[in-house]
Amino acid sequence: MTQFLFFSGKGGVGKTSMAAATAIYHADHGRRTLIVTTDPASNLADVFMEPIGAAIKAIAAVPNLDALEIDARQAAQEYRDRVLEPLRVLMPQAVMDVVAEQLNSPCTEEIASFDQFIACMEKPEYDVVVFDTAPTGHTLRMLELPVDWSRHITEAEQGSGQTCMGPVSFLAGAKERYDQAMAAMRDPARTRFIFVGQPEATPLGEIKRAKQELEHIGIPAAELIINGVLPPEAGDDPFITRRRLLQASYIGKASADVGLPLRQVPLLPIEIRGVSGIRRLASVVYEGAGFSDTDAPVAVQEADLDLDSARALVRERVQPFPGDSQRIVLVAGKGGVGKTSVAAALGIRSAEAGQRTLVITTDPAAHLAAVFQQPVGTEATPIEGVANLWAARIDPKAALAAYKDRLITDARATYSDEMIGILKEQLDSPCTEEMAAFNEFLTYLIGTEDRWDVIVFDTAPTGHTLRLLELPINWERQMAAHDQADETRSRYQAAIAKLRDPRKTTVSFVVYPEATPILEAGRASAELAELGIPTGFVVANLVVPAEAATSGYLTARRSMQQGHLAGVPARFAAPVLVMPLLDHELLGVAALREMGQKLLGKEGVLTHD
């Protein structure tokens, strides 16, 4: 019977590396193994250093190991073809046109990706299937879908027979598959759910909440891996000692709070890439092997970055352009690179320069409250200690409830009770949540010029943010194809125009100076450029400062980082800011103010020339 291993946690904590190491470990022990990534911004190919793609592929250097990247767009097209093809010989063209239109809805990508995820659990030829999942909030959403869709199909069968994906008959057999998948995930003999975190407040707090949510839907967690623990080789100077003590306090807290068997994995001085590197990590994780090849001195070639010029440019790009009423700043990047801290620090700088500023998160994991160390709700909340600054979060479930109420209230003025009943069934679809959250995002993007001078969006990890920014463009194209001209299309057109105007919107990417986050952000930047949305600046976070590199171990890490930093300006065609690794956490207003000064200097933000 196939065993399923899920690796989850906040982005950037090492899920993909741990999943890859586990997959190779099982394959090397003779088990037929499949590794699957459900992350829309997959790094699996980057880690293995070879193309993988949306078809199962054998990893040539590892007998018994296959790999797969679920591609949402390709999955959606295959899903449409699979649903439509058998109907063409049965249905008149008029009916086919309606069905095809329904399958062009935004939720098709979600259900198609989910369908592929379920299919990976139906492959008896594998002994082990390892899932490298998207960051926590989106993974919880995916794992809730079997429950939500099963319920939605049952309700549709008992009601109008319609779902947001068409007649319930088109989903024949789906409910049984979803129920079987859920049964497998709830069975600890078949499924091990493994959290990966780092010894810091935010990722461990997220794991504690996620564990509770999993238990709510009947999925037990099995283990916690704490990655990135400073080893003895890092040295014992005051900087490292302070960070080691900080880590130790969180490891002890995690052991008590999370209540799972705990495995510690050291921070390694090199990047884990390629089969040999992944296999070496597997020996560290599962066999307790050491990592002692950093004793030799390493020459560090410093990256040539013009930080003063970069700061001047960025200070201009995070404030309203002269004559314009508002600036939008989108902070994007791979999970775990520090987007929330950067967004909060930029918000403080903007507010203290006199701008009415809102920092809002679109990430369902919502870390703003933890970073500000203050409550942050779905309504804009003033941040204590900073005049002109407010914070808020887009809560998908709260947005969904408000969205349903608004649509039903509006419909009552026009439609019969029977039609209202059908509308309620449609709105009970799991797809509605995404639409509701997106509409909330649009409201802040194009409907708040009279309230805020600057809005800083702390976005979800890369793949989900790309989808968020592409949605108005995709939907507007669909409406244009059907010659629709209404208020909704006008909103999409206004959103597109604002996103594409560098005087109104600045897109920034946060990376840490390693190959994987830089490659992921670079692909996203190029994709947005094709849509006419340029990148305004890049923040390189967690850079080992020269004064801290007192051991061969940290010198090796600094050398690796500087090598990557050197290529960032050309890759993004944008100015680069540098945020050094600190010996304390960036939590609370005072620490975030310090971060803003290190990023942008102590000059005021308002510096338009």
Is the Cβ–Cβ distance between 553 and 282 less than 8 Å? no
Selection from 175, 142, 141, 143 nearest residue 156 by Cα: 175
Q: How many whole angstroms separate alpha carbon 257 and alpha carbon 2?
A: 31
Exactly one of 9, 11, 12, 536 is catalytic; which is it? Answer: 12
Q: Is the dihedral of CA 182, 186, 190, 194 positive or negative?
A: positive
Exactly one of 2, 11, 15, 508 is catalytic; which is it? Answer: 15
Q: Is 14 a catalytic residue?
A: yes
Q: Are strands 357-361 and 454-458 parallel, antiparallel or unpaired?
A: parallel
- Three-state DSSP class for residue 562: helix
Q: Is 39 a catalytic residue?
A: yes
Is the Cβ–Cβ distance between 420 and 411 less than 8 Å? yes
Angle at which helices 136-158 and 201-216 pack, to 10 degrees? 20
C-alpha distance from residue 569 to each of 36, 217, 231, 414, 538 (Å): 32, 45, 32, 55, 8
Q: What is the residue-wise DSSP string for 79-132?
A: HHHHHHGGGTTTS-HHHHHHHHHHTTSTHHHHHHHHHHHHHHTS-TT-SEEEEE
Indicate the Cα dihedral angle 58, 60, 62, 63, nearest 10°.
70
C-alpha distance from residue 138 to each of 127, 133, 214, 363, 592 (Å): 26, 9, 13, 9, 27
Our separate counts of H helices and E strands in the chain read 22, 18
In 221-312 the beta strands, taken as DSSP E runs, fall at 221-229, 262-266
Is the Cβ–Cβ distance between 130 and 16 less than 8 Å? no
Exactly one of 2, 9, 11, 17 is catalytic; which is it? Answer: 17
Q: Is 404 a catalytic residue?
A: no
Q: Is 567 a catalytic residue?
A: no
The length of the chain in residues reads 609
Q: Are strands 327-332 and 505-511 parallel, antiparallel or unpaired?
A: parallel
- Three-state DSSP class for residue 541: strand
Q: Is 516 a catalytic residue?
A: yes
Exactly one of 108, 191, 350, 516 is catalytic; which is it? Answer: 516
Q: What is the residue-wise DSSP string for 148-184?
A: HHHHHHHHHHHTTSEETTEEGGGGTTHHHHHHHHHHH
Exactly one of 2, 10, 11, 16 is catalytic; which is it? Answer: 16
For residue 119, what are the contacts with CB-CB under 8 A and spacing of at least 6? none
Exactly one of 2, 10, 11, 14 is catalytic; which is it? Answer: 14
Exactly one of 39, 46, 115, 148 is catalytic; which is it? Answer: 39
Active site positions, annotated: 12, 14-17, 39, 516
